[in-house]
A and B are shown apart, each in its own frame.
Chain A
Amino acid sequence: MSGGLAERARAGDRRALARLLSEVENRTHTAEEALRRLYAEAGAAHLVGVTGAPGSGKSTLVAALVGEARKSGRPVAVLAIDPSSPITGGAILGDRVRMQVHAGDRDVFIRSMASRGHAGGLAASTVAAAAVLDACGFPLIFVETVGTGQSEVEVASIADTTLVVQTPDMGDEVQAIKAGLLEVADIVVVNKSDRPGADRAAAQLRGMLTVGAQHDRQMGDRPRPKRPDVLLASGLTDAGVPELLAALDRRDAARRASQGNGTPDAARLARAEAQLTGILAQRLAERLRSPQHAEERRQSVRAIAAHELDPYAAADRLLRLLGGGSG
């Protein structure tokens, strides 16, 4: 069944692809089998994370970038994440509104994803969904995060290129030197460049994001924030969009060149790490939910709440039990 879905999806059956993505979102056994089979076929796509505040124009900009990329005939996929309600689990997935211009194009595949309780701006299954699209022949994949604040930086750990969308009224120079989102950008876009103040905002961002170049050299091999390019664009008028896509393509070309010898770059290693960590956490959670461990867990929770047992000791005890038992 899963073999059928994966193979049909790879052969270009969009219905099968959509079904497979549902399996992935629902984290089913079918999805896991399909992903195991497809993983070796994935890895060629340029995965572009697009993040920024709610209303900064991410969806409109992505729609414009998709249109630009389609001029060269490349298939393009979009994963657009919106938040799930922490109370009811429901969600409004509204990013498609801005992208419906591509509805008639079968080489544009847009999929909305609810975050389903996952924090950080993505859904737990976003990386897996991107791998499916990658294996199904989409060379360019945009992952649009939920509207973010200052610190939802998870997308940077899964994307090859992280694009942070700002607006002309995003704030002063102090906002630009705060830690968080802007530190993980490969490219900062001042969107809505048709509005007043865009040039000034871009100049401020450039000024603040490029200070300390000398300090960078002194830091040597220590981890340090990226030094992003700052570009102006308007998703509404398409101004600056060709230049933005060209900048994305240059980064992709550079990555491919540097990976020519088969050594994954830092972004790919980070994605691999994120996947492994996510699956380990999921496996652990599943085993803890199994009937044989559920009672242990309940007792531990009660003991911790009653301050009879400290949470570290309780966690170690459960891990020992899991290590000894069968999952």
Chain B
Amino acid sequence: MTDAPARPIKVLIAKPGLDGHDRGAKVLARGLRDEGFEVIYTGLRQTPEMVVSAALQEDVDVVGLSILSGAHMTLLPRICQALREQGLDDVLVTAGGIIPDDDIPALLEAGVSRVFGPGTTIREVADYIRGNARPREG
């Protein structure tokens, strides 16, 4: 039929775990909207199962996880593993929030493709996603 209109990249923004601070996630969601992405926002206190089920049903290209609670070493690897178990291994996983530098290598090992620290600009995140999200097939 047509391939004239560009297909927006779909990004799931989720906050796994128990912290109740989602202002950062909302600011990012809004910023990515302005960058032309379709952003699915699922809100606070998401279990890994909720994140994975939303990623699967929405057929997203990217899962962006915001986590400030300190539980990242438990939750992020679990989410990455669950995504792989569901066959979603081509989905780009990024993380942001308060994550100590020392923890980053283990998270990258677990399947997170990039950890964005405080001070990251929305443009940086958007450029990274555009450069690394799976190609959309026709």
Minimal beta-carbon separation of A318 from chain B (angstroms): 18
Which residues of A from 52 to 99 have beta carbons under 8 Å from B?
84-85, 88-94, 96-97
* Nearest Cβ on chain A to B5's Cβ, whole angstroms: 8
> Which of B27-35, B68-76, B93-101 lies at the binding interface?
B27-35
User: Across the interface, do B35 and A88 meet the contact criterion of CB distance under 8 Å?
Assistant: yes
Q: Please report the C-alpha to C-alpha distance between residue A286 and residue B5 in the assembled complex, in whole angstroms.
A: 11
Q: Contacts A91-B38, A286-B1 given: A14-B8 contact, CB under 8 Å?
A: no
Beta-carbon nearest neighbor of A30 in chain B: B138
- Is residue B59 contacting chain A, with contact meaning CB distance below 8 A? yes
Q: How far is the CA of A21 from the CA of B54 in the complex (A)?
A: 14
Let me know if B49 and A112 touch, CB within 8 A. no
User: Smallest distance from the beta carbon of B38 to chain A beta carbons, Å?
Assistant: 5
Q: How many residues of B contact A (CB 8 A)?
A: 37
In the assembly, what is the distance between CA of A266 and CA of B86, in Å? 42
Of the candidates A15, A90, A96, which one forms a contact with B36 in the assembled complex, judged by CB atoms under 8 Å apart?
Answer: A90
How distant is A98 from chain B, measured CB to nearest CB, in Å? Answer: 8
Asked if B41 and A92 make an inter-chain contact with CB atoms under 8 angstroms apart, the answer reads yes
Q: Is A97 a contact partner of B42 (Cβ separation < 8 A)? A: yes
What are the residues of chain A within 8 A of B34 when measuring CB–CB? 85, 88, 90
**Which residues of A from 267 to 325 have beta carbons under 8 Å from B?**
282, 285-286, 289
B interface, by DSSP: helix, strand, loop or mixed?
A: loop
With CB as the reference atom, state the residue of chain A lying closest to B52. A103
> Bound state CA distance, A165 and B98, in angstroms?
41
Contact between A109 and B57 (Cβ–Cβ < 8 Å)? Answer: yes
Secondary structure of the A contact surface, majority rule: mixed
Give the distance to chain A from B2, nearest Cβ to Cβ, in Å: 5
Chain A positions within 8 Å of B50 at CB level: 100, 103-104
Query: Cβ of B38 and Cβ of A103 under 8 Å apart?
Result: no
Of the listed residues B43, B53, B87, B88, the one surrounded by the most CB atoms of chain A closer than 10 A to its CB is: B53
Give complex CA distance A289, B88 in Å.
Answer: 35
In the bound complex, do residue A100 and residue B42 qualify as a contact, i.e. CB atoms below 8 Å apart?
yes
Q: Is A127 an interface residue (CB 8 A)?
A: no
A289 adjacent to B36 (CB under 8 Å): no
Is residue A255 within 8 Å, beta carbon to beta carbon, of the partner chain? Answer: no
Say whether B39 faces chain A, with CB atoms less than 8 Å apart. yes
Decide if A88 touches B57 in the complex (CB within 8 Å). no
Contacts of A89 in B (CB 8 A): 6, 8, 36
Q: Is the CB of B2 within 8 A of A90?
A: no
B86: min CB distance to chain A, Å: 7
Q: List 16 A-B contacts (CB under 8 A).
A: A18-B58, A22-B59, A27-B1, A28-B3, A88-B33, A90-B32, A90-B34, A91-B33, A92-B29, A92-B39, A94-B43, A100-B54, A103-B54, A104-B50, A110-B54, A116-B8
Q: Which 9 A-B pairs have the closest CB atoms?
A: A90-B33, A97-B43, A103-B50, A18-B59, A22-B59, A103-B53, A88-B36, A90-B36, A93-B40
Q: 20 new A-B pairs (CB below 8 Å) besides A85-B33, A100-B54?
A: A15-B56, A18-B58, A22-B59, A28-B1, A84-B38, A85-B34, A90-B32, A90-B35, A92-B39, A94-B43, A96-B41, A97-B42, A97-B43, A103-B47, A103-B54, A112-B40, A114-B8, A114-B38, A282-B1, A289-B2
